[in-house]
Structure 1
């Protein structure tokens, strides 16, 4: 192997390997895409069933969610135009405008690509 693969950006593990277009760390199971300029690799964000999410995707909620301040987001609520966060906030890695609730942060584990 003539090409040196970068260490994992999450745990700095040195045993990364390629799986298709993704780089994978066997130590922490982190997956990411190597950027063209090799500066900072972009993290891969997957939905509840393993589909890779992209900026602007359309998703639906797969689990009822209680919202601080009252109310709940029901299963099946459609959310359009998601924004993927570069740095997750308290485990929330998606921002989106949810109908009836406004602009919220969501975890990718509670959405499914539509």
Structure 2
């Protein structure tokens, strides 16, 4: 019996591990083992792409930063993200203006 999780795209269980990627035999989708192994769940951006630690993302909407008068403009690049443990809806990262941001994945897309 396979220990690979069901495919996050088509939800079928015909998956296997190929090196540092999981592969779905039905739809051909590939996603990193790191996203599932480290946190037990798949973290996705607003377009449904799987995010992994170290990825670069782009803000898709102007966002007001709580506790600051700074606004993250649409198109702001967040490099070298970190996944938040036990939370598939948030990531941590740094912008050029602000360090230590926690952002919702629904406002991000993978670069």
- Normalised by the length of structure 1, the TM-score is 0.63
- Helix, strand or coil for the counterpart of 1:86? coil
Asked if 1:46 is matched to 2:41, the reply is no
Aligned to 1:93: 90
Greater shift in the superposed pair: 91-100 or 101-110: 91-100
Give the 4+ runs in structure 1 shifted more than 2 A: 19-22
Question: Which whole-Å deviations, capped at 9, do the CAs of 1:4-50 have from their partners, x for residues lacking one?
Answer: 98xxxxxxxxxx9526448xxxxxxxxxx775xxxx97210110111
Report the RMSD for the aligned CA atoms in angstroms: 3.0
Which structure has the greater CA radius of gyration?
1
Number of aligned pairs?
Answer: 89
- Quick one: structure 1 residues 46 and 74, their matched pair in 2 at CA, closer, same or farther if it must change by over 3 Å? same
- Helix, strand or coil for the counterpart of 1:106? strand
| Larger helix fraction of residues | 2
Unmatched 5+ stretches in structure 2: 4-10, 16-21, 24-34
